[in-house]
Structure 1
Amino acid sequence: MAEQSTPETSSPGAPAEGAPSEEGVSKKAAARKSPPKGAISENAPPRGAVSQEASSKGVISRRRLLGTAGATGLALGAAGGAAGYAAAPSADRTALLSSLGADEVMFHGKHQPGITTALQARGHLVAFDLSAGAGRKEAAALLRRWSTTARRLMAGEASASADTDVARDSGPSSLTVTFGFGHSFFARTGLEKQRPIALDPLPDFSSDHLDKARSNGDLWVQIGSNDALVAFHALRAIQQDAGQAAKVRWQMNGFNRSPGATSQPMTARNLMGQIDGTRNPKPSESDFDRRIFVPDAGDPSWMAGGSYAVVRRIRMLLDDWEKLSVKAQEDVIGRRKDTGAPLSGGTETTEMDLEKTDADGGLVVPINAHSRITRPDENGGAAMLRRPFSFHDGIDADGVPDAGLLFVCWQADPLRGFVPVQRKLDRGDALSTYIRHESSGLFAVPGGVAEGEYVGQKLLEG
């Protein structure tokens, strides 16, 4: 898990060095057009709405504050997020508007959001199955509703239906909502001929202990945000929008370190305390798009600009791991625990010397070290963009933490990305003693959409 995982940010909205950055991210998206008249129902007031009572007490919304400041020519934070803040000196207002709540990711674009977006502090992964009797028509209507809701919430607006007001006081907070289709979706909708070959079920691995009830699904939604309430609000809205068309199959909740929690940008750490993400592919690399996204001339055509997400719930056996000495933990991973540097020397980003030996002639980086096995140059160039969340779901009946990694990786073809790496890990990864793969899913995530379109429209109306 240590070699390819997305670096996190440590300052609001700013990717860590080498971290992927989302196309179309607007950090302070002022000058947003107002929603069409009547677009928001009486039951779903804009998140910037101010009650008469609040107005009388001198509390103003973020939207009104932005509008007032904008009239003076200041380039201030994201429109759409409402916040009931007490009147404060202008310096305090400026600090408020530069907070991570103002960060916005664009819904429209060549690729869906939430793939190259920097790691977010909070995430929800949820899979749905279409209800009995629901087919292509119902699925299209659902994706249309979901796309509308995602666009509005990512802009810091209320959902178009009965909004729960959970995030009324928040800005967009880097919210992303990403949608995908599972293998079973195509039979349910009569679209088997449009099912990609790359979506064929993953092979069995000897280390799997999979719970079928928490694996796969017709539809998959990934939600991420730097604010837990904003993420939950989006999750609830997506669940409500499903209505009678689809039912939740499984849901998983995750987290990462919050932006700004470290003094400088740093690669993320996982729950084992290891720096996790040193060798993740970067958009600046010339072959990044080829490895991660389906080409415009790809097959099938509706997947152009899309990607394939492998989702695995990987439980970490923390009680066993924490009994190891730091030296033993480093030998399992192949990197120093404090700095993330390879055991062969240097800094975190120094190229690992796989042939270096110690005074006794033994390999400095053990032959079964996780970071050695997962290197792309040790796997025929196989690469995947890892973008995980940690999870902790309490303590089980034996007093053992139910915690680990919600592994999400992206690639243009899982047979050239995840599968060859996992097969090699399956044959002798030192880390396998301390982890357990408990659920799995593979989803086709279509490309992004233009204004007026919904996710999956080319598939469902093609």
Structure 2
Amino acid sequence: MSNTRRQAPVPTGAGTDTAGAPGSAAPAESGAGVSRRRLLGTAGAAGATGLVLGAGGGAAGYAATRPDEPTALTAIGATEAMFHGKHQPGITTPLQARGHLVAFDLAKGAERKEAAALMRRWSAVAKELMAGRPAAGGPDGPGHDTGVALDAGPSSLTITFGFGRTFFARTGLADRLPAALDPLPAFSSDHLDAKRSHGDLWVQIGSDDALVAFHALRAIQKEAAGTARVRWQMNGFNRTPGATAQPMTARNLMGQVDGTGNPKPTDDDFARRVFVPASPGTPEEWLEGGSYAVVRRIRMLLDDWEKLPVDRQERVIGRRKADGAPLSGGTETTAMDLDKAGPDGRLVIPDNAHARISSPEENGGAAMLRRPFSYHDGIAQDGTVDAGLLFVCWQADPFRGFVPVQRKLDRGDALSPFIRHEASAVFAVPGGAAEGEYVGQRLLDS
């Protein structure tokens, strides 16, 4: 795929990240800004589990205490996603440990010209931060780096941009509005908060380091000042790469292995399912190489779920909790035998099991690339835990991906009593920016 990730070699004696093999590091950057990679010190080759303590006194004093020649970054810190490419980063990038989802509305008086200037600034900042350099500001603004991530490498940082349905009318581009941005139908599990749904612009930030992700979030918010205001923000997390003995599918907050059935880049039809094809001469031609993101904040009713015995949880899902294998047998990657019955004559995978109902086989081949974050927002007013899934799925058309699957789930998913959809949005995500371009240029400069 286009947006590959680069890694630096790990020092002798340092821990390695089992999520990927080490590669070669990019050299430290020079110039007016001080590279974050240049500032990385050493803690006695402590590796991925080591702790680096910096002296106080601000960035200048901190830099002065570092050795002239930095040691190589650990595998997690050195992993770098590419900003330029056919597709934007953050779509096929492996799950990241920390994420922020933010929607913006254009400020009063901000139109197409101002939106284009903002996208130029955002793209310039994203390119620098993803390379592990300070946020120097876009071409239309001075910028200012907060110094939050001075001693970190790129840490798999990705910044992804999308446009909501309302963006097109507010920028005079209603004739370029894709039909796939039509409003989603209502579902029975919806308890949607309008204030945490929709938006003109959307930014997804992901990183394997929480400070790097926050640093990017602040830079994006600062560049938007005067042009767009935050409509809503959601913060999420996943397991940190290297936290398990070997790479494995992530678990959600219900403890279930989540993402087994995802389409894979090696599948023959992966691009057709996930990315928008070329369509010259149509209103959507600017979206070639892009995708559609459906974003749902799904609260898990964990107090109710955790009361169920494990065998009951497994029948709700249709997979073993221990390893994600289907109840029909085999390993996690074994195809489900949807017709297999037990000694009592009942289907081993119940007819209302979540894995059965959501499978492509049960939905005419409909599929989407699920790439979520978990979230925990403390205790709700009713005394229950406010936690669940920031569900993000990618597809070439949400009405051929998300919608048919969700309609099927809506009619009888055994998981439905244990979840509640509390926010919803759909965004058209342009293809990646070529060298010298900004994200969305083919739309805004057309």
* TM category, shorter: 0.7 to 0.9
Partner deviation per Cα, 1:263-305 (whole Å, 9 max, x = no partner): 0111100000000111100000111001100112364110000
Q: How far apart, CA to CA, are the structure 2 residues paired with 1:48 and 1:355?
A: 55
Instruction: Report the alpha carbon displacement of residue 60 of structure 1 after superposing the two structures with TM.
Output: 2.4
Q: Give 1:156-235 correspondences, 5 Å limit.
A: 156-160=132-136, 161-235=143-217
Q: How far apart, CA to CA, are the structure 2 residues paired with 1:171 and 1:239?
A: 21
Paired residue for 2:118, among 127, 135, 142?
Answer: 142
Instruction: Report the alpha carbon displacement of residue 224 of structure 1 after superposing the two structures with TM.
Output: 0.1
Q: How far apart, CA to CA, are the structure 2 residues paired with 1:424 and 1:52?
A: 58
Q: How far apart, CA to CA, are the structure 2 residues paired with 1:112 and 1:233?
A: 20
Q: Does 1:30 align with 2:30?
A: no
Contact 1:28-1:102 within 8 A present in 2 as well: no
Q: How far apart, CA to CA, are the structure 2 residues paired with 1:184 and 1:364?
A: 46
Aligned to 2:36: 47
The letter of the residue matching 1:238 is: I
Partner deviation per Cα, 1:179-225 (whole Å, 9 max, x = no partner): 00000000100100001111111111121110000000000000000
User: In the superposition, relative to structure 1, how do residues 326 and 130 fare at CA in structure 2: closer, same or farther (>3 Å)?
Assistant: same
The letter of the residue matching 1:435 is: I
Q: How far apart, CA to CA, are the structure 1 residues paired with 2:398 and 2:437?
A: 27
Q: How far apart, CA to CA, are the structure 1 residues paired with 2:348 and 2:439?
A: 49
Instruction: Report the alpha carbon displacement of residue 53 of structure 1 after superposing the two structures with TM.
Output: 4.7
The letter of the residue matching 1:372 is: R
Task: Please report the TM-score for the alignment, with normalisation by the length of structure 1.
Answer: 0.84
Contact 2:18-2:245 within 8 A present in 1 as well: no
Aligned to 1:393: 377
Q: How far apart, CA to CA, are the structure 2 residues paired with 1:222 and 1:359?
A: 48
Q: How far apart, CA to CA, are the structure 1 residues paired with 2:100 and 2:362?
A: 33
Q: How far apart, CA to CA, are the structure 2 residues paired with 1:319 and 1:122?
A: 25
Aligned to 1:378: 362
Q: How far apart, CA to CA, are the structure 2 residues paired with 1:359 and 1:55?
A: 69
- Name the stretch that deviates more: 354-363 or 243-252: 354-363
Paired residue for 1:109, among 85, 94, 97?
Answer: 85
Q: How far apart, CA to CA, are the structure 2 residues paired with 1:331 and 1:460?
A: 49
Partner deviation per Cα, 1:134-154 (whole Å, 9 max, x = no partner): 000000000000000000000
Gaps of at least 5 residues in structure 2 are 1-14, 40-58, 137-142
Gaps of at least 5 residues in structure 1 are 1-9, 17-25, 66-92
Q: How far apart, CA to CA, are the structure 1 residues paired with 2:217 and 2:81?
A: 17
Q: How far apart, CA to CA, are the structure 2 residues paired with 1:381 and 1:223?
A: 30
The letter of the residue matching 1:106 is: M
Instruction: Report the alpha carbon displacement of residue 451 of structure 1 after superposing the two structures with TM.
Output: 1.4
Instruction: Report the alpha carbon displacement of residue 243 of structure 1 after superposing the two structures with TM.
Output: 1.2
Instruction: Report the alpha carbon displacement of residue 12 of structure 1 after superposing the two structures with TM.
Output: 3.1
Q: How far apart, CA to CA, are the structure 2 residues paired with 1:438 and 1:406?
A: 10
Tell me how large the CA RMSD over aligned residues is. 1.9
Instruction: Report the alpha carbon displacement of residue 377 of structure 1 after superposing the two structures with TM.
Output: 1.2
Q: How far apart, CA to CA, are the structure 2 residues paired with 1:396 and 1:116?
A: 33
Task: Please report the TM-score for the alignment, with normalisation by the length of structure 2.
Answer: 0.87
Q: How far apart, CA to CA, are the structure 2 residues paired with 1:349 and 1:46?
A: 42
Partner deviation per Cα, 1:128-178 (whole Å, 9 max, x = no partner): 000011000000000000000000000000001111000011000000000
Contact 1:131-1:244 within 8 A present in 2 as well: yes
Contact 2:29-2:35 within 8 A present in 1 as well: no
Report the identity percentage: 69
Aligned to 2:419: 435
Partner deviation per Cα, 1:78-126 (whole Å, 9 max, x = no partner): xxxxxxxxxxxxxxx4xx5233101100100000000000000000000
Instruction: Report the alpha carbon displacement of residue 257 of structure 1 after superposing the two structures with TM.
Output: 0.3
User: In the superposition, relative to structure 1, how do residues 27 and 446 fare at CA in structure 2: closer, same or farther (>3 Å)?
Assistant: farther
Paired residue for 2:19, among 14, 17, 31?
Answer: 14
Partner of 2:415, secondary structure, is helix
The letter of the residue matching 1:181 is: F
Instruction: Report the alpha carbon displacement of residue 32 of structure 1 after superposing the two structures with TM.
Output: 6.6
Q: Does 1:406 align with 2:390?
A: yes
Q: Give 1:307-456 correspondences, 5 Å limit.
A: 307-456=291-440
Contact 1:27-1:102 within 8 A present in 2 as well: no
Contact 1:122-1:256 within 8 A present in 2 as well: yes
Q: How far apart, CA to CA, are the structure 2 residues paired with 1:234 and 1:122?
A: 12
Paired residue for 1:244, among 226, 237, 240?
Answer: 226
Which protein has greater RCO, CA pairs closer than 8 Å, 6+ apart? 1
Q: How far apart, CA to CA, are the structure 2 residues paired with 1:203 and 1:171?
A: 42
Q: For this pair of structures, how many residues does the alignment match?
A: 405
Contact 2:28-2:38 within 8 A present in 1 as well: no
Partner deviation per Cα, 1:17-36 (whole Å, 9 max, x = no partner): xxxxxxxxx9544247655x
